[in-house]
Amino acid sequence: MTLALGCIADDYTGASDLANTLTRAGLRTVQTIGVPADDLALPEVDAVVVSLKSRSIEAGLAVSRSRAAETWLRGRGARHVLFKICSTFDSTDAGNIGPVMDALRADCGEAVVLVTPAFPETGRTVYQGNLFVGAVPLNESPLKDHPLNPMHDSNLVRVLARQSGTQTGLVDLATVARGAEAVRARLAELAGKGIGAAIIDAVFDRDLETIGLVAAEHRLSVGASGIGLGLARALVSTGRVKAAATSDAGAPVGGLAACLAGSCSQATLQQIANAERIMPVLHLDPDRIIAGADEVQRALGWAAPRLAEGPVLIASSSTPDQVAALQARHGRDAAGHAIEQATADIAESLVKSGVRRLIVAGGETSGAVVDRLKIPGFLVGVEIAAGVPVLRAVGAESDMLLALKSGNFGGAEFFSDALRLMR
């Protein structure tokens, strides 16, 4: 297998979002959980997205895990590696976007790395280096209240400069609009000044196509699904990949269905509220989880009689005020970790009792659940909402369908939309 594109994603929902985008653009794609074991039977593919849970861990660990993934991908022929980050640039001043980018850049000797989280299909656009979420700048969006990485600065040139050892420059929209040659010239100018990273503006998919053409000539890029779209279209339009039809990875599995939510995003809170109309919903008590009380057992006892009747939803999600109060009592990381592990405990028991269709809301939450279920990889099925495909587990103990929903993605009826497509 010689890969046309290698990808390293810093969380599992982000990885499935990217795998979805690449698949829809015609690349045969598989999502692996971590660096695949040698005995994992992978189909013949054009792109592999290695999913890491490295967004919110210590920067040194994120670097070493990303480097291991890079070595594996380049060893399978990937000339270009895309480091997939969140379309809302989720990170802190300690990393991990800057440190991982610096390490991968040093490994491949790239002069200037193109960086853009733009993903217009989901309302993420970048103008003059400022990230917009829908109509508002990042720092005014719900991301200002993210439980793990609240985003308070929408100027990505500044945000990345605080995290990276290299200087950060800008390729503005006017340059992108002039086409690939103008972008190449601007990158050469930045490289001449010793600037090693460039935030590049993008508002429409056509901007990402220009960016993809240029990025594909390089060894490394950093961004969200939008630049993945640009790269995939460039690989197809230049004949390096023959566009494939989408597979039937979402064929029915039957079995019980359940939903778990650990995301506290505004979108997820609305989706949970709407789900109350169509299925039983249990709201976990986060204080009881952290206190180590038997909240997991309570949830399982609640779910057992209801599952045979139809899908259920179990959520730890709370409003920003409640999240802040909980974190003040217990600490941010301790609270997040305890809740993720409790959600994983619940997922493990649900699967033991016959759940084969599982929907998880939240990136870190999905990471904890998928790790616990020891699923080595996924094939991409139909799209439920922009950035969220139906996934079929490969190499797992049971044949299962999953959906890993980024906190901010999906329409107001996401849970019923997903269940309709996961049979």
Ligand X SMILES: O=C(O)[C@@H](O)C(=O)COP(=O)(O)O
Ligand Y SMILES: Nc1ncnc2c1ncn2[C@@H]1O[C@H](COP(=O)(O)OP(=O)(O)O)[C@@H](O)[C@H]1O
Among 98, 120, 230, 407, binds ligand X (CB under 6 A): 407
Cis link prior to 149 (omega < 30° from 0)? no
Judged by CB under 6 A, the number of residues near ligand Y is 22
Which residue is nearest to ligand X, using beta carbons? Answer: 363
For residues 274-309, b (16+ Cβ closer than 10 Å) or e, as one string?
ebeeebbbbebebeebbeeeebbeebbeebeeebee
Considering only residues 382 through 411, tell me which ones interact with ligand Y, judged by CB under 6 A.
406-407
The 10 Å Cβ neighbour count of residue 321 is 9
Residue 328 gets the label, from left (phi > 0), alpha (psi -120 to 50) or beta, of alpha
Tokens found for residue 292: 């180590």
Our finding on whether 406 is near ligand X (CB under 6 A) is yes
Cβ-contact 224, 123 below 8 angstroms = no
Residue 17's binding partner among ligand Y, ligand X, none (Cβ under 5 to 8 angstroms by kind) is: ligand X
Cβ partners under 8 Å of residue 292, min gap 6 = none
How far CA 292 is from CA of 148, 283, 285, 295, in Å, comes to 21, 17, 11, 8
Residue 66's binding partner among ligand X, ligand Y, none (Cβ under 5 to 8 angstroms by kind) is: none
Angle at 327 between CA 324 and CA 330, to 5 degrees: 155
Binding mask 338-377 for ligand X (x = CB under 6 A): ------------------------xx--------------
Q: Which of 173, 176, 8 is nearest to 97 (CA)?
A: 8
Our finding on whether 51 is near ligand X (CB under 6 A) is no
Considering only residues 74 through 113, tell me which ones interact with ligand X, judged by CB under 6 A.
86-88
Least distance in angstroms from the C-beta of 89 to ligand Y: 12
Our finding on whether 290 is near ligand Y (CB under 6 A) is no
Residue 262's binding partner among ligand Y, ligand X, none (Cβ under 5 to 8 angstroms by kind) is: ligand Y
Q: Under the rule (CB under 6 A), what is the footprint of ligand X? A: 11, 13-14, 17, 86-88, 119, 224-225, 362-363, 387, 406-408
Q: Under the rule (CB under 6 A), what is the footprint of ligand Y? A: 147-148, 262-265, 286, 316-318, 323, 326, 335-336, 339-340, 362-365, 406-407
